Structure 1
Amino acid sequence: MYFDNKVIWITGASSGIGKALALALSQYDCKLILSARRTEILEDVKTQCKNTEHVAVLPFDLADYEKMEPVSLKAINSFGHVDILINNGGISQRSLIMDTDISVYKTLMDVDYLGTIALSKALLPHFVKRKSGHFVTVTSLMGKFSSPYRSGYCGAKHALHGFFDALRLEHENDHIKVTLICPGFVNTQVARNAITGDGSLQQTQDASTENGLHVDVFAKRMLKAITKEKFEAYIGKKEVLGIYIKRFFPRMIHNVVSKSKVR
């Protein structure tokens, strides 16, 4: 199996997609490193995993992007090396541009973009030295086209595509792989935890997220995309069609999204 005998590091592992990935991957003969901000929640996820002796907990905050080198070293020392880094941690946004303080955009870029690339850059020399490694980064369909109420989130996710496409090109000869996962709507707490124009949490669910893919179904499809070492994978329901409409009919996707009731 693709994941057997590998060390897999998951950020944002305390809930949602990250937790679902941890539980699914714990069924394989692999070792896991679970990261998020809160130790107690990570420990709870660990207890739900199979083979807990093969699961390490490494709490840190993606917003502290200048401290990623020691975090990366701790991860490597957990089991001797890292084979796959799943960049899943991040936050979403729900606010109109006119209502959004510039500090909110900074928070989104610090966590969703700079935190992710700083962590990946800190681990990169380890992958280069081993001539092996796989960066798996969860972006969004919003990293390929945009939607109202998500301007900062869309900007950060678009930026991740630019960075990791360049990383893939620069390190192809080092046998380093990059997979970008673009979720559509997944039924998690992402909407409730989204920040609004003043930086406070939205704390409410929306219909599109509520009716999205079950997180376990999403995790299964995501793991399949990783095993196939896809460059990009679009995972969701009918909203995935937006990728292809954007590519061939950019004005049409504008009209479709502007008429939708997505919030």
Structure 2
Amino acid sequence: MISFKNRLVWITGASSGIGKELALQLAEEGAHLIISSNDAQELSHVADECREFTSFCQEYPFDLSSPVEVKNTAETIINTYGQIYLLINNGGISQRSLVKDTPVEIDRKIMEIDYFSYVILTKTVLPGMIEAGEGFIAATSSISGKFGFPLRSSYAAAKHAIQGFFETLRAEMKPHNISVTIAYPGRIQTNISLRAIDQNGKEHGKMDPGQQNGLSAKECARQYIKAIKKRKPEVFIGKSEIFMVHIKRLFPSIFFRIVTKIKPT
């Protein structure tokens, strides 16, 4: 199996949740880490934890909602450290608002953070990977990237877009020995519901029962890294909620009856 020891790994959304656990587990493996988030203070705490295991961990806080900032940061990192061996596009934001109540500005903000930032970062690191003839790219989607769900219209749209982009990328990069993995987490114990935004752009501020009782972020990260190393095109991570993906595919009429009855939290 692939090892990321002494390899340059860049993880976004690394200040908490899945991203933090990815950073810690790859640090334990001895990876050379670059970690990013919009929360500089928490990112610094994660970097300190990572440095207990790896000799190299650099922090680059920036805002995924700003295309200029995303591109400038990516170019700075490439120019400073060279080729990224593994990029994990993991940063993002969720949503808690009905379609009819959500202004298009919120739709655009979520799409900018959850989709376009991934595209910008990936396109920036890609030339170095192609020149080296090797590399790994991963993108954190969601089971909402496989089906729509109440109060998640923009979030689901961005996650669906991730599937289209990165599946295409995987096919195009096969001749260059660049692996692409999409992760589809279900309900994971993170702060995603706390930081989700409503139709006014304000934080939801509530821990949804689905997240509270979900799979641990540590176990999610373990499965995620394993899938990357095995060069899997996609991996579904979670508990019983993952079956919804298969129900939709096999029994769509049953799925649509179920999804309108489930409390969307």
The TM-score, its normalising length taken from structure 1, stands at 0.96
Distance 2:194 2:80 in 1: 33
Aligned residue number for residue 24 of structure 1: 25
Deviations 1:204-259 (A, max 9, x none): 11111111011111111111111111100000000111111111211221112112
The letter of the residue matching 1:25 is L
TM alignment of 1:41-80, pairs within 5 A: 41-49=42-50, 50-51=52-53, 53-80=55-82
Distance 1:61 1:238 in 2: 34
Distance 1:16 1:127 in 2: 28
Q: CA deviation at 1:24?
A: 1.2
Q: CA deviation at 1:29?
A: 2.0
The letter of the residue matching 1:15 is S
Aligned residue number for residue 130 of structure 1: 132
Distance 1:197 1:167 in 2: 32
Q: CA deviation at 1:78?
A: 4.9
The letter of the residue matching 1:6 is R
Tell me, yes or no, if the aligned pair for 1:46 and 1:52 is still in contact at 8 Å. Answer: no
Q: Which runs of 5+ in 1 are unaligned?
A: none
Q: Secondary structure at the match of 1:192?
A: helix
Moved more, 156-165 or 59-68: 59-68
Tell me, yes or no, if the aligned pair for 1:11 and 1:89 is still in contact at 8 Å. Answer: yes
Q: CA deviation at 1:77?
A: 4.5
Moved more, 252-261 or 205-214: 252-261
Aligned residue number for residue 180 of structure 1: 182
Distance 1:80 1:98 in 2: 46
Tell me, yes or no, if the aligned pair for 2:63 and 2:69 is still in contact at 8 Å. Answer: no
TM alignment of 1:1-263, pairs within 5 A: 2-49=3-50, 50-51=52-53, 53-263=55-265
The TM-score, its normalising length taken from structure 2, stands at 0.95
Distance 1:261 1:73 in 2: 43
* RMSD of aligned alpha carbons: 1.4
Q: Secondary structure at the match of 2:28?
A: coil
Q: CA deviation at 1:52?
A: 5.0
Distance 1:173 1:189 in 2: 38
Flag as ranges the 4+ runs of structure 1 deviating above 6 A: none
Tell me, yes or no, if the aligned pair for 1:7 and 1:84 is still in contact at 8 Å. Answer: yes
Q: Classify 1:80/1:121 alpha carbon distance in 2 versus 1 (closer, same or farther; 3 Å).
A: closer
Deviations 1:6-41 (A, max 9, x none): 111000001111111111111112111000123222
Distance 1:41 1:35 in 2: 10
Q: Secondary structure at the match of 2:188?
A: coil
Distance 1:37 1:69 in 2: 15
Distance 2:193 2:222 in 1: 22
Q: CA deviation at 1:102?
A: 1.3
Q: Which runs of 5+ in 2 are unaligned?
A: none
Moved more, 234-243 or 217-226: 217-226
> Aligned residues: percent identity?
39
